[in-house]
Structures are given as C-alpha cells and as structure tokens.
Amino acid sequence: MEQMNGLVDAVLESAAEHGLWSPHDTIVVAVSGGPDSVALLHVLHEIAANRTPLKLICAHVNHGFRVESVEEAELVRQLAAELDIPFEMAEFDIPTLAKDSGLGPEGTAREKRYQFLIDTAHRYGAQAVALAHHADDQAETVLMRLLRGSGLSGLAGMRWKRSEKKVQLIRPFLRINKTALVGLCQENGYPYAEDASNLLTQYTRNAVRLEVLPFLERYNGRLGHSLLQLAEIAGAEDDYMEEAATRCFDELVSVNSGKYTFERVSFAAVPSALQRRLIKLILNYLSADSSITDFSKIESVRRRTLQEYPTTWSLDLGGGLTCIRQYDMMLFSSKPPKVQASYTYRISLPQTRLSLGEIGKVMTMTVLERESFFLRGEQSELMSAWFDLDELVFPLTIRSRLPGDTIKVMGLNGSKKVKDIYIDDKIPSSERSIIPLVCDGLGNIVWIPGVRRSMHAAVGRHTAAVLLLSLEDGDGTEET
C-alpha cells in the first residue's frame, strides 16, 4: 500500500501542476492490459475512491494483431468488473485496414485507437482520456525526435495534456518510471499482459529502447533523467514562445479573405526565433498538413523575406499554399492569386453605366457642360478622370491588360509600358489583373483608373463639354 500511496501522491502533484482534471470530472482510461495501463487504472481508481471524486470509464482496443489479443481483452474486462468501472471495447482488423490507409500498421492502429477513445469520451460526456505513457516512454520519444532533427516543440516530447476534438488527452505518469509501475502490479498481485512484440527491434521505438538508449547510457548513466529534464525545459520554453508568437501575430499580421499579410520592415525588427514562429503559425492556420511547416521551408521563407531584392516573387510551399512578396508586403494564401479572365467591353453615349462583372466594378460616364465643369472645379480623385468630349474618339473600350500595352502619359514625351508604370508605382502583381484599361476608338489607352491618365483629349480652355469617367465598386445592378 505504501507504493500505491507514493504513486497516488506523485500523480496528484502532477495533476494539480498541469491542471489534468477537476473534481467530479469523467475520465476515459485507455487500458491495453499491459502493466503501465493496468497500474494507471488502479491508481486513478484509488484517487477517485479516496482523494478526488472522479468518474472512470475503462476503454480497451483489440487491434487484431496477435492471437493473445482476445485473452488481453478479457483480462481488461475482468479488471474493470472487479473495480466496478464501466467497460467499453472496440475491435479492429488493423492488418486489413492498413492495406488501404497508407499509414502502415502502426499508424493505422494509432488512428483507430484514438478515434475510438475520443468517440467514447464524447458518448460519456468525459472531459479527458487518460493515457499510460510514462517517463521511459518520454525519454524514448525525445531521443527519437532528437535523432530526426526536431526543433524545440519536438524536444518537448509528449505533453501532459493536449486537446483533440474538444477532449483533453492527459498523461498522468510522465514523471514515473516503468519499474515503479511494474513494481506496483507485482507487489499487489495485479494481473497484466506481456506484449512479446515489444522485444522486436524492427520497430523504431523498440530499437531505441533496447539498443540505442542502453548504448548511450554507457557514457551517461543518467541519460533517461537528462532527456526528461530536456523535455520539461523545452516544453515550458516552447509554451512561452508560442504565446509570444501569438502576440506577435496579433500585432503584425492582417487577415482578409483567408489571406495573411505583414510588412517586411515590421517583420525584420522581430528576433529570428519569433520570425520562424510567426511564419509557422501562419502556415498552421492555412493548413493542417504538418509537412508544410518543416524547418527548411520556414527558413527559406524567412531568409527570402529579409533580402532586399528581388522585390517581387512568389514561392510555392506545397499543399496549395503560396507565399508572395509584393514590394514591402508579404502575403500568404492557401490558393494562388486568382488570375482574372480576359474581357473587353464597348461603351458609348448615351450609355452612362457599364457593369464589369469580372472585377466587380462599374464604369460610369457623365457629361458636363463647360460652365458647370469649371464652376465645379477639376477634382483629383484617383478613380475619376476628365476628358474633352469633342476630342475623345468613340466608342470607348474597357478591357483587361495585354502584353506590351503602352500609354502616352501626360507630361511625358513618348509612350511608357503599362507594366513599367505598375512596377514604378509598386502595384502588387496580384492586383494588376483587376485594373481595367480604358481605350479610345483608335485603340489608344486613355486612362488606367487609380494609376495614370494619358495626354489624349485633355481638358483645356477650348473645351466645350467634359466627359467624366468614374470607376466604382459594383452593386450588382445591371448596366443601363
């Protein structure tokens, strides 16, 4: 009983520190039948009976891997009955399911197991699912991730709790060694099953536990303790950095229609550690695919963002994600920028309004007599332009941009390429396709709304009547 009390005290201390549960919570306990999960069920039962009121549900999964699976399921069923705990079981033919899943036997088993545990929690209205991962498992996990080249988040190992589908997955044993759990079962005569597959080194985790860790412990006898300590430190610092990254995101990033943007100057002022976190956070918001956020991809985006030149570029990040630099702005999107279809419209008097459905805009024409125009005064609105009505050749054409387009800009000898004007004005490439061009009846570009007007049909002292062209947001009404 002394050993049980010691484990109960240790678990309660960890539960209080990490907020694993509250009094009267319902907890689904995952019990495979091995010594770790059998010990977990007994310890939580002791806590529920004598320390903190909890409702427990015993859940077991038969993966169909081994002939002993039926015996293990019966062992867990009897254990739940002895403790008067509700029992739930699922049976899966993992070898068959794995052929179609693409995840392999281990991945398929894990997916089905967690799906069943969470579904069981939902059925019982449980706040958490308790898993029997212990300190030895944690050390193995950290070492495996270290060998893979993981970052700080990976070195934190398994977390004390994490949320999945509104259920907390909790691990009360992360500071308790397996020897203590086996000792509890043996001292109290708790029956448990031995899984022979745990001795097969064809599985990576088994190889790390049976070969790699013992080899490294020849050079550091406290390697397991060191790895646990690393996980604790990395976990706390990772949590702190995540909070800092969230604050940074709120301060620097704008979100509009599923696109995330920030200014390069503001980004450059942030420490490199937060720069990486910020990029990773944006990519996580855009995609659930964890392969999108590998270090090399994040670092490539970070370094290119900090470079002065080139000032415009687009980077395919995979999974449908795109990172675009538009001069001083960075844009992340889950879809490539939408390329507008080409369009051409004709407009002539007495027509006064034309709807441009492709870009969601409306072009209006208003004729003003000379006196009323000069009394009103020429205004400098970017989305309006004034022309000498008698000098302007009709019909007008409103169309999308074509390669090689040029315009005779007022105050400039000769013509200038529209593309060069867009570059000089630092108009993002993603916005250029939605700027219409207004041409006269001879094909001359006379106005680029919001950008430039040409030298054609300029209003002067000789002007008798003025044509006012305006580009406005569309309101869904038909042209007249």
Q: What is the pLDDT along the chain (480 residues), one digit of tens a residue?
A: 788 999 999 999 999 999 999 999 999 999 999 999 999 999 999 999 999 999 999 999 987 666 678 889 999 999 999 999 999 999 887 667 766 666 666 777 788 899 999 999 999 999 999 999 999 999 999 999 999 888 899 999 999 999 999 999 999 999 999 999 999 999 999 999 987 667 667 678 888 999 999 999 999 999 999 999 999 999 999 999 999 999 999 999 999 888 999 999 999 999 999 999 999 999 999 987 777 788 888 999 999 999 998 888 888 888 888 899 988 999 999 865 555 568 899 999 888 889 888 788 899 999 987 666 655 554 556 788 989 999 999 999 999 989 899 999 877 778 899 999 988 888 877 778 789 999 999 999 999 998 999 999 988 888 889 999 999 887 544 444
- CA–CA distance, 168 with 162 (Å, rounded to integer): 5
- CA–CA distance, 135 with 230 (Å, rounded to integer): 12
CATH number for the segment(s) 253-333: 3.30.465.60
- Output the pLDDT for position 42: 98
- CA–CA distance, 30 with 14 (Å, rounded to integer): 19
- Output the pLDDT for position 70: 85
- CA–CA distance, 38 with 183 (Å, rounded to integer): 12
CATH number for the segment(s) 2-221: 3.40.50.620
Q: Is the peptide bond before 350 cis (omega within 30 degrees of 0)?
A: yes
Tell which residue, 343, 379, 381, 349, has the closest CA to residue 366.
349
- Output the pLDDT for position 431: 77
- Output the pLDDT for position 177: 96
Angle between helices 178-188 and 135-148 in degrees, nearest 10 = 150
Residue 256 phi, psi dihedral angles, 5° rounding:
-150, 120
Quote the DSSP letter at residue 454: B
- Output the pLDDT for position 314: 86
What would the two tokens of residue 299 be? 């670092």
Tell which residue, 390, 394, 386, has the closest CA to residue 443.
394
Please name the residue ranges forming H helices in 208-293. 213-216, 223-252, 264-268, 272-286
Contact of 405 with 419, CB cutoff 8 Å: yes
Domain coordinates in residue numbering, the chain: 2-221, 253-333, 344-473
pTM for the model: 0.70
The binding site for ATP consists of 32-37
Per CATH, the homologous superfamily of domain 344-473 is: Phenylalanyl-trna Synthetase, Chain B, domain 3 (3.50.40.10)
Tell which residue, 466, 444, 468, has the closest CA to residue 454.
444
Tell which residue, 174, 170, 160, 172, has the closest CA to residue 228.
174
- Output the pLDDT for position 370: 67
- CA–CA distance, 52 with 19 (Å, rounded to integer): 13
- CA–CA distance, 313 with 307 (Å, rounded to integer): 11
